[in-house]
Structure 1
Amino acid sequence: MALIHGSEEVISHEEDMVGAFALLYHHVFSYIKPMALKCAVELGIPDAIHRRGGAATLADIAADTGVHASRLTDLRCLMRLLTTSGMFAATAASDGGEPAAATSTVYTLTAASGLVVGPRGLSTVVRFAAGPVAVSPFFDMHAWLRAAPAAARSLFELAHGRSRWDAANADNDTMNAHSFVESQLLIEAVLRDHAGVFRGLGSLVDVGGGHGAVAKAIAAAFPDIKCTVMDLPHVVADAPVSDDGNLHLVAGDMFQSIPPADAVLLKYVLHCWGDDDCVRILRNCREAIPAREAGGKVIITELVLGSSASPRDANVAEAEDMHSLFLMCISGVGREEREWRAIFSDAGFGDYKITPVLGPISVIEVYP
C-alpha cells in the first residue's frame, strides 16, 4: 500500500496511484494541447497535409511549412502529442519488415483536424480561443470568484478592464471571423442533417442575426420561406447584404417587439442574458408566432449541459463544461435542460424538443 504525502488517504492499489498521477498531470499540463494545436494552425500544418492529398511525412510537413531543418525532432514531438490526442493520425511506414525511421511516419488528417483546413475552416476559433486575450482572464479566476459582483461584470472584464463585446477590443476582427465561421458550420450541419426543423414554415425571423449569413443560407435551402433578419440599427446599417427576394433586413430591439413570423430563430443569443431577460425575450417571441397547430415555434441554438436528448461521450461532456466555463468568463450562461425548461415555462411555452447537432451545441424547438 502507498500513502499519499500529507494525507490520511491510503491508495491500496498501485494502478490507482498511477492513474491518479496521470489524471493530475493531464490537468496540470492540459494547456499544452491547445498551444500545440494553435502552433500547428499558425504553421499551416493541417493545410499542408491537405494539399498533399491528406497524407504527409515529417519532412514533407517541414518543407511545406518553413520549419527549420534543425527542428525536425521538435516538430516530431509536436506531432506526437497532436496524434496521441486525436487531432492527427499517424502510420509508421516500413520496408521489408523493418521499422521505419521516425521521419518516415505518415501523418493524416482526422475529422477534427479537417475542421481547421481551408479559409472556411475553424482555424480562427483556434487562434482566438487559444490566444492570450481569451486565455489570460483565467489566471484571475480565483480573484473573480472572491470578488463582489460590483467589482466587474465578468471575468474577462476583471482581467482586461472592458467587456468582451467592447468595440475597442483589439481581437474583435478575430472574434467576428470566429463567430461567422462557426455559424456557417452550424447552419450547414442543421440544413444537411436536420432540415426538418425548417420544413413547413412560411416565414422566419432571425433575431440578432447580424449581417444575415445564416438567414441567407436558410433562404437558399428553402426558397418558400420568407426570411427576415432583425438586429440593432447600427448592425443592420452596416450589413453587406441587402434585401433580396425572400431575405429582408429590419432594425429593431428584441426587448421591445419582434416581427410576426411562423418561427423565430435565436442563434447563440440567450446564453448572453440572465434568466429574467431570457424570459422577456421569449415572451416577445411568443407574441410574434402563431399557435403550435399553425406551425408556430421558436428555434434556439445553444449549449445544453448534460442533455438527455442523446447519449454523450466523455469528450462531448467535457466540451460542454469547458464551453460553459468560457461563457462564464465573458458574462454568459451555460444551462442544463432543467434550467432551459424553467425559462420556457415562465415565458408561457408548453413543450420543447432538443436535438444535438454539433458537438455540445443543440437545436431546441420550443412550442407555444
Structure 2
Amino acid sequence: MEGNGKPEGAMEIFGAQAHIYKHACNYVNSMVLATAIQLNIPDIIHTHGKPITIPNLVSALKLPPHKSNAIFRIMRLLTHNGFFEEEEEGYVLTASSRLLLKSEIQNLSPYARFMVDPVLLASWQVLGDWFSRNEESSSAFETAHGAPMWEICNTNSLFNNAFNEGMASDSQMMRLIVKDCGQVFEGVSTLVDVGGGTGMISKLILEAFPRLKCTVLDLPHVVAKQPECQNLGFLGGDMFHSIPSADAIMFRHVMHNWSDEDCVKLLKKGREAIIANKGKVIIDDMVLGAEKGNERDITEMKLIFDVLMMVLVTGRERTEKEFERLFIESGFTHYKIIPIFGLTSLIEVFP
C-alpha cells in the first residue's frame, strides 16, 4: 500500500508492473508467431477445412503426443493475440492468420519471419552500445556486423534472400489497392521503380495498367537473373549516381531508409530524370501524424518503424512537414498526399 493507505495505489503500481513486463516480454509474441509460421499451423488449419482440435493439430503437425500441451499453450497465446479464434469444435483462422497462408497471394509469412532473422536481432543487442559510440552516420546494425545492411545483403545470400522475400510479400499487399490509383498513373507512359528489388510492385502496376513500360533500378546483385518481359526491364546500378529518364520516378519504401541529406540527393536525381518529360516523382511511404481518428495500432506501428529504420539503417519515418522540407530543398514546387489503406500514403511530387 502507498503511504496514504489507499489500496488503489498498490493496484496502480501492479498495473504499471504488468505494463512493464508486457513490453519487456513482447519478443515472446514475435517468436511464437514465427514458430507458428515455421510449423505451418495457419495452413494446416486452412487445409483442415473446419475447426481443428489440439489432438488433430498435433497429428497433422506430425509431432509426438507429449508436445500436445506445448502446442495448446502457444495456441492459447496466439488466440489471445487475435491470430486464431477458439470455437467449441476447435480453432479457426482470423483475418490476421489468413494473411499468413503460404498458399495465398497475399502472404505475409516471409515478412514476419524476416523480422526475427538472427542477423536483424543482433542489431538490437548492441543498441545501447551504439548510443555510446561517436559515429553519427552508422547504425546499430553496422555496430553489430561491421558493415551496413546493404553490404551484408550483398555478401550473405541467405539474409539477402530472406530480405527480398520479405519485401516482396509486403509489396503484394498493394494488389488490393493499386487498381484504385488510376489518377496517379494517368498520363504516365514510362516509370522507373527505384530500389524496386525483384520487381513485385512494377508487376502489380503492370497488371492494373498494362500500357505502362516499367524499369526496375536496383543494385546489380538484386536484379541479376530477374526475368524480363515486354513492358518490364531490370537495370543494375546505383540510384545515387544515376536514374534513367522517365515520365515518373517511384520510390516505394526507399526514403525511410536514408538520412535527410541522402533523401535530398535521391530526390534531386529523381527530379533530373523527370524534368525533360514534365513528369513527377511518386513516393510510397509512411507519413507520421496522417492517421485519422483513434488508430492507435497504426500510430504505434509507424513509431516502431521509425525506430526500426534508426537501428537497421540511417533513415527515419517523417511527418508531412519533414517531407515538405525535403521537397523544397530538392527543388520541387508542390506535392499531393494521397492516403491509401494501411500504414502508407502515396505522395506525388512535382518540379
Distance 1:89 1:353, change over 3 A: farther
Map of 1:98 onto structure 2: none
Indicate the percent of aligned positions where both proteins have the same amino acid.
Answer: 37
Map of 1:326 onto structure 2: 308
Map of 2:17 onto structure 1: 21
Of the three residues 131, 143, 151, the one matched with 1:145 is 131
Taking structure 1 as the reference length, the TM-score comes to 0.84
Map of 1:168 onto structure 2: 155
Map of 1:182 onto structure 2: 170
Report the alpha carbon displacement of residue 35 of structure 1 after superposing the two structures with TM: 1.1
**Does 2:233 match 1:248?**
yes
Q: Tell me if structure 2 keeps the 8 A contact 1:264–1:285.
A: yes
Which stretch shows the higher mean deviation, 128-137 or 315-324?
128-137
Cα distance in 2, alignment partners of residues 158 and 191 from structure 1: 38
Map of 1:225 onto structure 2: 212
Cα distance in 2, alignment partners of residues 172 and 252 from structure 1: 17
Report the alpha carbon displacement of residue 193 of structure 1 after superposing the two structures with TM: 4.5
- Structure 1: where are the runs of 5+ without partners? 5-9, 94-103
Cα distance in 2, alignment partners of residues 199 and 60 from structure 1: 52
Report the alpha carbon displacement of residue 192 of structure 1 after superposing the two structures with TM: 4.3
Please give the secondary structure, in 2, of the residue aligned with 1:209. coil
Cα distance in 1, alignment partners of residues 48 and 65 from structure 2: 20
User: Equivalent residues in 2 for 1:295-306 (5 A)?
Assistant: 296-306=279-289
**Does 2:83 match 1:87?**
yes
Amino acid at match of 1:330: L
**Does 2:202 match 1:215?**
yes
Map of 1:7 onto structure 2: none
Q: Tell me if structure 1 keeps the 8 A contact 2:226–2:234.
A: no
Report the alpha carbon displacement of residue 358 of structure 1 after superposing the two structures with TM: 5.4
Q: Tell me if structure 2 keeps the 8 A contact 1:55–1:108.
A: yes
Q: RMSD across aligned C-alpha pairs, in angstroms?
A: 2.7
Amino acid at match of 1:339: E
Amino acid at match of 2:102: G
Report the alpha carbon displacement of residue 139 of structure 1 after superposing the two structures with TM: 1.9
Map of 1:118 onto structure 2: 102
Distance 1:306 1:258, change over 3 A: same
Cα distance in 2, alignment partners of residues 281 and 287 from structure 1: 10
Map of 1:281 onto structure 2: 266
Please give the secondary structure, in 1, of the residue aligned with 2:313. coil
Map of 1:97 onto structure 2: none
Cα distance in 2, alignment partners of residues 264 and 2 from structure 1: 61
Map of 2:114 onto structure 1: 128
Q: Tell me if structure 2 keeps the 8 A contact 1:211–1:241.
A: no
Amino acid at match of 2:212: I
Map of 1:101 onto structure 2: none
Q: Tell me if structure 2 keeps the 8 A contact 1:212–1:241.
A: no
Q: Tell me if structure 2 keeps the 8 A contact 1:200–1:295.
A: no
Please give the secondary structure, in 2, of the residue aligned with 1:55. coil
Report the alpha carbon displacement of residue 145 of structure 1 after superposing the two structures with TM: 0.8
Cα distance in 1, alignment partners of residues 181 and 148 from structure 2: 35
Of the three residues 21, 27, 30, the one matched with 1:31 is 27
Report the alpha carbon displacement of residue 47 of structure 1 after superposing the two structures with TM: 0.6
Amino acid at match of 1:276: E
Cα distance in 2, alignment partners of residues 133 and 358 from structure 1: 31
Please give the secondary structure, in 1, of the residue aligned with 2:149. coil
Which stretch shows the higher mean deviation, 112-121 or 23-32?
112-121
Q: Tell me if structure 2 keeps the 8 A contact 1:207–1:229.
A: yes
Q: Tell me if structure 1 keeps the 8 A contact 2:179–2:208.
A: no
Map of 1:99 onto structure 2: none
Of the three residues 36, 41, 44, the one matched with 1:45 is 41
Report the alpha carbon displacement of residue 255 of structure 1 after superposing the two structures with TM: 2.7
Amino acid at match of 2:25: F
Map of 1:265 onto structure 2: 250
Map of 1:205 onto structure 2: 192
Report the alpha carbon displacement of residue 11 of structure 1 after superposing the two structures with TM: 8.8
Count of equivalent residues = 344
Map of 2:71 onto structure 1: 75
Distance 1:322 1:353, change over 3 A: same
Amino acid at match of 1:162: A
Distance 1:355 1:72, change over 3 A: farther
